[in-house]
Copies of this chain bind each other. A is one copy, B any other.
Amino acid sequence: MISAVIASRFTADQRKRLVSALSTPDDPEPSVHFLPLSVTDLPAARVIIGSYPPSAVRQLTDAATAPAFLQLTSAGYEQYQRPGILSSSTIVSNGSGAFDRAVAEHCLAVLMELQNKLELYRDNQHRGVWHDEGAVSSLQNAHVLVVGKGHIGSEFARLATALGARVTGLRRHIPANANSEDAVRAEGRTCGMDELAALLPDADAVVSFLPSTPQTRGVFNRHFFDLLKEGAFFLNGGRGDAVDMPALREAVKSGRLGGVGLDVTDPEPLPSSDPLWRMPNVVITPHVAGGWRLASTTDALCSLACDNISAFLTGRPVSNQVAGPRS
A contacts, CB < 8 Å to B: 101-102, 105-106, 108-110, 112-113, 115-116, 118-119, 121-141, 159, 162-163, 268-270, 272-274, 277-278, 283-286, 288, 291, 293-296
The docked-state distance in angstroms from the alpha carbon of A258 to that of B226 is 41
User: Is B105 within 8 A of A109, CB to CB?
Assistant: no
In the bound complex, CA of A269 to CA of B288 (Å): 34
Query: A136 touching B277 by the CB < 8 A rule?
Result: no
CA distance A62 to B134 in the complex (A): 34
Q: Considering the complex, give the chain B residue whose CB is closest to the CB of A261.
A: B118
User: Is A109 a contact partner of B102 (Cβ separation < 8 A)?
Assistant: no
CB-CB nearest 7 A-B residue pairs? A128-B272, A130-B269, A109-B112, A162-B162, A130-B286, A109-B116, A128-B277
Q: Chain B residues with Cβ under 8 A from A268's Cβ?
A: 130
CB distance from A38 to the nearest CB of B (A): 14
A136's nearest neighbour on chain B, judged by CB, is B293
**A129: B residues at CB distance < 8 A:** 272
The distance in angstroms between the C-alpha atoms of A294 and B141, with both chains bound, is 12
Residues of B within 8 A of A110 (CB): 116, 118
Whole-angstrom CA separation of A108 from B294 in the bound complex: 18
From B102, B116, B140, B278, contact of A136 by CB (8 A): B102
18 sampled A-B residue pairs with Cβ under 8 A: A102-B138, A105-B138, A106-B116, A110-B116, A112-B112, A112-B113, A113-B113, A121-B283, A121-B284, A121-B286, A122-B123, A123-B126, A125-B283, A128-B278, A129-B272, A130-B272, A134-B293, A136-B288
